[in-house]
């Protein structure tokens, strides 16, 4: 009993320190303090602590979920290799004469003029993973987002990211899929990108309750004193009165954060949104803008974003509108990573936030790449796939895919080779595990807390094995 009591006390003390650090980083973000100065003010070691060369043990992640057929737009950015290179007039690809291979990828990768990340090296480019099954006309696809019967990919990623705590660990916009997993934090679900801004106002309001919770006097005292230290470190005397009134301070900080998170007209322009943009393009752009700002302020580790949720059967009857949609989509994805690349990662010296962010893209049905006429929902072999920008942790290019003759080629997770005997459904679990591996920064032991499938060493970049 004596041992257990002390163990419980140690756990409570560790929790108090984590809460103090979490709220302190939140407050520092509102005051515009660099992360190292927050650590210094809280007594966690200052710049040396913040610049620990070991880096945070996990990556941030954004997961795009395109439903109701809208996932099909993405295959125009990263077409199946044979669809682009052995093009026939009825294939569903818009720019066969302008398609080109990316140099230096582990497997072939073909891009269109509108494809993002074209400045990236082959080794850090996109990985395209055949996996999952066609789930036509759902807004919440799950076939390539499952690690096991009990653990969904996005919730598992959030559980992995708990090793690098943030104010709001995971956010899902609209009805974007999140799922469940052992140890996953409760997701903060909001209706739109605008509501993400409001979410942090609400989170700030809850700070007042935390500061006034006198049931934990030790935490209250240390938190209150630390916030005063942050005020001093910020050198902003205008914050003195608000800090002396806990709930008022929380609301003020929330307003400050809201102003800094809200997309501006200049932001939207950089993300490709102009007067001719469709509403669905604008909503994707706004979601990415807010996510980028939240990441740079250290407010969250994950955002799950819905995309399109339209059904573009007639897309190829209006090529101007189609290329406008995917051009703006590509520009938004590029601008998102460009924004993250401008900010040094306070949790990993010598790198930017872009270096430590994973992007994955999923959907219900990518539609049939062999037939542009009324772009049918069915896919060869009932196949599906996902795309991931894995920060150099995965081999790049197409693993599996649809062939020009309509056959579907699977892939072997153990050695990465083509595998005709592997169906798209067979490849779903390994594809999800590969994405979780990127979020876990190559810690396969942590991935295996949720995944018990085939070894995925065949897709892992050799330098991370």
Length, in residues, of the chain: 465
pLDDT one-digit tens code per residue, 116-164:
999 999 999 999 999 999 999 999 999 999 999 999 999 999 999 999 9
Number of C-beta neighbours around residue 131 at 10 A: 32
Q: What is the mean pLDDT of residues 413-426?
A: 98
CA gap 113, 106 in Å, rounded: 21
Q: What is the pTM of this model?
A: 0.83
Cα–Cα distance measured from residue 434 to residue 456, given in angstroms and rounded to the nearest whole number: 7
Position with higher pLDDT, 58 vs 165: 58
pLDDT band at 233; cut points 50, 70, 90: low
21-30, 117-126, 240-249, 389-398: least confident range: 240-249
- Give me 416's structure tokens: 């990465």
| 368, 377 contact by CB (below 8 A) | yes
Average pLDDT of the residues in 329-350: 95
pLDDT in tens, 260-316: 899 999 999 999 999 999 999 999 999 999 999 999 999 999 999 999 999 999 999
Question: What Rg do the C-alpha atoms of the chain give, in angstroms?
Answer: 23
pLDDT over threshold 80, residue 189:
yes
- CA 355 to mean position of chain CA atoms: 13
Under the banding of pLDDT at 50, 70 and 90, the label for residue 463 is low
Instruction: Please check the confidence at residue 213 and state whether its pLDDT lies above 60.
Output: no
Domain residues of the chain, as ranges? 56-194+251-464
Q: Residue 330: pLDDT above 80? A: yes
pLDDT tens, 243-262? 443 444 444 455 567 888 99
Instruction: Confirm if 337 and 290 have CB atoms less than 8 A apart.
Output: no
Least confident of 49-53, 155-159, 330-334: 49-53
User: Which band of pLDDT confidence, cut at 50, 70 and 90, is reported for residue 465?
Assistant: very low
Mean pLDDT of 345-364: 95
Does the pLDDT of residue 223 top 90, yes or no? no
Closest CA to 117 of 286, 274, 341: 341
Average pLDDT rounded to a whole number, residues 319-339: 98
Taking residues 212-238, report their average pLDDT: 48
Q: Is 449's pLDDT higher than 60?
A: yes
DSSP 8-state class, residue 393: S
- Mean residue pLDDT of the chain comes to 85
The helix/strand/coil state of 185 is coil
Percent of the residues in the chain that have a pLDDT greater than 70, as a whole number: 76
pLDDT score for 259: 84
In the prediction, which pLDDT does 254 show?
Answer: 56
Residue 348 in contact with residue 55, Cβ under 8 Å?
A: yes
DSSP 183: T
Is residue 10 pLDDT above 60, yes or no?
Answer: no
Given this model, what pLDDT does residue 242 score?
40
Which residue shows structure tokens 């980028």?
292
**What are the φ/ψ torsions at residue 139 (nearest 5 degrees)?**
-95, -5
Taking residue 223's Cβ as centre, other Cβ atoms within 10 Å add up to 23
Residue 134 · residue 365 · CB < 8 Å: yes
| 3-class DSSP assignment, residue 45 | coil
Q: Does the pLDDT of residue 369 top 70, yes or no?
A: yes
Helix ranges (DSSP H) in 86-192? 153-161
CB-CB neighbours of 341 under 10 Å: 14
């Amino acid at each position: 009993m004596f041992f257990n009591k002390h163990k419980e006390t140690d756990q409570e003390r560790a929790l108090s320190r984590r809460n103090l650090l979490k709220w302190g980083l939140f407050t520092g973000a509102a005051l515009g303090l660099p992360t190292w100065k927050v650590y210094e003010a809280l007594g966690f070691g200052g710049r040396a602590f913040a610049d620990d060369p070991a880096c945070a043990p996990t990556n941030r992640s954004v997961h795009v979920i395109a439903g109701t057929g809208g996932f099909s737009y993405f295959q125009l950015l990263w077409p199946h290799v044979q669809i682009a290179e052995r093009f026939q007039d009825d294939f569903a690809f818009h720019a066969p004469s302008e398609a080109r291979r990316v140099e230096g990828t582990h497997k072939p990768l073909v891009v269109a003029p509108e494809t993002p990340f074209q400045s990236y090296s082959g080794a850090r480019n996109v990985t395209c993973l055949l996996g999952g099954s066609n789930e036509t006309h759902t807004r919440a696809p799950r076939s390539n987002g499952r690690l096991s019967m009990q653990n969904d990919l996005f919730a598992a990623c959030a559980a992995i990211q708990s090793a690098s705590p943030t104010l709001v660990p995971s956010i899902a916009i609209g009805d974007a899929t999140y799922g469940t997993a052992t140890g996953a934090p409760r997701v903060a679900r909001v209706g739109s990108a605008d509501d993400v801004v409001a979410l942090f106002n609400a989170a700030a309001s809850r700070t007042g309750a935390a500061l006034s919770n006198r049931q934990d006097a030790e935490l209250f005292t240390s938190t209150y004193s630390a916030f005063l230290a942050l005020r001093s470190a910020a050198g902003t005397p205008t914050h003195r009165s608000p800090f002396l009134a806990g709930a008022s301070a929380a609301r003020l900080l929330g307003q400050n954060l809201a102003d800094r998170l809200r997309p501006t007209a200049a932001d939207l322009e950089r993300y490709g949104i102009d007067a001719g943009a469709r509403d669905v393009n604008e909503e994707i752009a706004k979601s990415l803008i807010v996510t980028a700002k939240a990441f740079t302020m250290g407010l969250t580790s994950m955002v799950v974003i819905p995309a399109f949720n339209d059904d573009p059967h007639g897309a190829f009857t209006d090529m101007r509108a189609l290329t406008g949609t995917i051009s703006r989509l590509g520009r938004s994805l590029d601008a998102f990573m460009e924004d993250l690349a401008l900010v040094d990662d306070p949790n990993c010296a010598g790198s930017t936030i872009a270096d430590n962010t994973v992007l994955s893209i999923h959907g219900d049905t990518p539609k049939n790449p062999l037939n542009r006429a009324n772009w049918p929902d069915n896919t060869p072999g009932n196949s599906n796939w996902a795309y991931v920008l894995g920060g150099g942790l995965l081999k790049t290019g197409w693993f599996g895919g649809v062939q020009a003759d309509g056959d579907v080629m699977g892939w072997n997770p153990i050695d990465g080779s083509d595998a005709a005997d592997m169906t798209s459904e067979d490849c779903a679990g390994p594809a999800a595990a590969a994405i979780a591996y990127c979020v876990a920064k190559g810690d396969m032991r942590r991935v295996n807390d949720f995944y018990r499938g085939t070894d995925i060493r065949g897709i892992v970049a050799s330098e991370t094995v």
